[in-house]
A and B are shown apart, each in its own frame.
Chain A
Amino acid sequence: MSDENAFKDADEVYEYIGGMFATATKTPSFVEATKGTNLVVLIKQTKPDAAILVDFPGQTVVTGDEALAGKSTVVLRMSSDNANKFWQGKLNFTLAMAQRKVKLDGKRSVALKLLPLTEGLFDTYKQRLKDAGREDLIVA
């Protein structure tokens, strides 16, 4: 991968990362794991700017201004490059938090419900990139 941003615009972010969440929120294991929680995650990305609101119990994903206008219980901020690494399991979350590459706001008890779910998303995301012929985004 070059030094340029992984995604050329917000639409690409929505297609791959947003698309991954659209799949995940309908996957039975995620539905079961998040049932009865108030896990509504606003993912705010930079370079390019993008916003995705994932309502796990409501099984909905919205993007852009609609996402920013929605109500979330956890806000996860990172650059789109780091998001691309993170959702492939290639970014150590604790270290990234300590280095301020990732910012997590919200109640700890709610946020902690998100982290165990992330591992189950890595394969979904990578498969989505492969299916779209975007091997250039896959981190070795």
Chain B
Amino acid sequence: MATIEHDAFTAERSDHPTPPQHFEAALTDEEFDVLFEKAEELSEYFREIGPEYDQKNTFAFPSIEKFKASDLGRLSVPKRYGGHGGSLLQTSKVVSELSKGDSAITLAYNMHYIMVGMCLGLFSEEQNQYWMGRVAKGELVFGPFSEKRAGFSGLADMTAVPQDGGGWKLYGRKTWGTLCDAATIITTNATITDKDGNLPDSFEERVAAESFFVADFDIDRETLQGDGISIERTWDSLGMHATGTHTVVFDGFYVPESGFVCEWRTGAFGVLEWASLMFASIYLGMQARVLEESRAVLSKKTLGAVFGATVAADVKVSGVGHIIDGVGDMASRYEICRRVLYRTCEEVTGGYDDNWPIELRFPYIGLAKTFIADNVMHMTKHAMSMVGGMSFRRGMIFERLYRDAAASMFQPLNGDQSRTYIGEYLLQPEELED
């Protein structure tokens, strides 16, 4: 049976970890403070327009110009490519601050941060210079990967058919195209076929042929059509309305040879911290907002004379025991989650994840996200319970936070997936599977 001999805390003091190369972390505290102020301003703007776009059920189009003007798009791009060189933790802090303003709008731009982080670890130096150089100049990047059949876990049914003159044409549909309404650079995965478009016969060959690509996303924003690619406005969900997570349709979309990045599954698992920790940052910001809104209401609310669970002539809610405890519980959960996220960012950036078994790196990093997701769902529900029936009415911040928090169940890794990874590792026999 597998053993767990990986006390990161103990090992930290005796080992000399090797930080991953793609974490530049060159942004000083002073430089970061300037950028964080911009994040606070942008967060305020997101807060103002968030309710409108939740109600309209569309992407928050005016946010594009504001986001670009904030100069935050190149936050995590290394300085050598023209970016600010922000670290994983600094990026996390900015995402949480924006999410505190409006989680749905921020979730759209979070896609950009995720893909910048992942691409930095997967692109060749030449690709980084070209594509990250464009990001540093203000372009946005997105990455639709999930397909209807099996989501992110499914091997791509989308095909990349080799062309006589080189490069590939992509055919298929991606169902989670978050930020497609604003991005001009697309990354995606597709399975390389034979010349006739046939997928490889064996499972092993399919895994090896599934590849990661990058290309221009040149779309007419009126017709939503590009050359071999289009957007279908299919996003209609319980929450996170303003993400604009539409379907992207590939119908002979040409990707030149220079757009091939790497094998997808082999590469992606080494850099997925940018996905799970950025999602964690979204929900930490949402926790902060839940706490803020709950305090604002519960500190002032007066019930007057009541005869129910509490019986009194004049009840101020802030003096009721379970409300006091409830707000304290919320604040405690937020603080613990904050520490979990920050510490995880620091351990990954510092290379202390070296002390975890290789197979557990991905789910262990993902624990920050699943932990924060579980807590934000609890907190949004509890906030509604404490605030009372008014919180359930459409347009109230609490019902929106409750709806938006539910999205945290789905982004990778979710809690079930994390536990499966970890449990399988711990229960596996010593013998190899041959």
Knowing A77-B432, A99-B433, the reply to whether A107 touches B354 (Cβ < 8 A) is yes
Binary CB contact string for chain A from 105 to 140 against chain B (1 if under 8 A, 0 otherwise): 111111110000000000000000000000000000
Q: Is the CB of A92 within 8 A of B432?
A: no
Q: In the complex, what distance in Å separates the CA atom of A76 from the CA atom of B311?
A: 69
Instruction: Report the interface size for chain A: residues with CB under 8 A from the other chain.
Output: 26
Looking at the complex, which one of B17, B266, B359 makes contact with A93 (CB distance below 8 Å)?
B266
Q: Is the CB of A104 within 8 A of B354?
A: no
Looking at the complex, which one of A92, A100, A101 makes contact with B266 (CB distance below 8 Å)?
A92
Knowing A92-B207, A92-B208, A94-B269, the reply to whether A109 touches B434 (Cβ < 8 A) is no
A33: B residues at CB distance < 8 A: none
Q: In the complex, what distance in Å separates the CA atom of A77 from the CA atom of B428?
A: 15
A92: B residues at CB distance < 8 A: 204, 207-208, 266
Q: Is the CB of A46 within 8 A of B432?
A: yes
Binary CB contact string for chain A from 66 to 85 against chain B (1 if under 8 A, 0 otherwise): 00000000000111011000
B432: A residues at CB distance < 8 A: 46, 77-79, 100-103
Knowing A92-B204, A99-B433, the reply to whether A109 touches B265 (Cβ < 8 A) is no
Q: Is the CB of B354 within 8 A of A109?
A: yes
Looking at the complex, which one of B17, B358, B433 makes contact with A104 (CB distance below 8 Å)?
B358
A100: B residues at CB distance < 8 A: 428, 432-433
Closest to A93 in B: B266
B269: A residues at CB distance < 8 A: 94
B20: A residues at CB distance < 8 A: 109
- Tell me whether B18 is interfacial, beta carbon within 8 Å: yes
Q: Is the CB of A81 within 8 A of B353?
A: no
Q: Is the CB of A47 within 8 A of B207?
A: no
Determine how close the nearest CB of chain B comes to the CB of A46; give it in whole angstroms: 7
Q: Is the CB of A81 within 8 A of B434?
A: yes
User: Interface of chain A, helix or strand or loop or mixed?
Assistant: mixed
Q: In the complex, what distance in Å separates the CA atom of A95 from the CA atom of B357?
A: 17
Q: In the complex, what distance in Å separates the CA atom of A77 from the CA atom of B353?
A: 22
Q: Is the CB of B358 within 8 A of A95?
A: no
- Tell me whether B351 is interfacial, beta carbon within 8 Å: yes
Q: Is the CB of A105 within 8 A of B357?
A: yes
Looking at the complex, which one of B266, B356, B434 makes contact with A82 (CB distance below 8 Å)?
B434
Q: Which of B270, B355, B359 gathers the greatest number of chain A CB atoms within 10 Å? A: B359
B359: A residues at CB distance < 8 A: 97
A47: B residues at CB distance < 8 A: 434
A106: B residues at CB distance < 8 A: 358
Determine how close the nearest CB of chain B comes to the CB of A41; give it in whole angstroms: 14
- Tell me whether B361 is interfacial, beta carbon within 8 Å: yes
Q: Is the CB of B265 within 8 A of A94?
A: yes
B434: A residues at CB distance < 8 A: 46-47, 79, 81-82, 101
Seen from chain B, the residues whose Cβ lies within 8 Å of a Cβ on chain A are 17-18, 20, 204, 207-208, 265-266, 269-270, 351, 353-359, 361, 428, 432-434
30 A-B pairs (CB sep. < 8 Å): A46-B432, A47-B434, A78-B432, A79-B432, A81-B434, A82-B434, A92-B204, A92-B207, A92-B208, A93-B266, A94-B207, A94-B265, A95-B204, A95-B265, A99-B433, A100-B428, A100-B432, A101-B432, A101-B434, A105-B357, A105-B358, A108-B353, A108-B354, A108-B356, A108-B358, A109-B17, A109-B351, A110-B18, A110-B354, A111-B358
Query: Assuming A95-B207, A101-B433, A108-B354, what are 10 further A-B pairs, CB within 8 angstroms?
Result: A46-B434, A79-B432, A81-B434, A100-B428, A102-B432, A104-B358, A105-B357, A107-B355, A108-B353, A108-B361
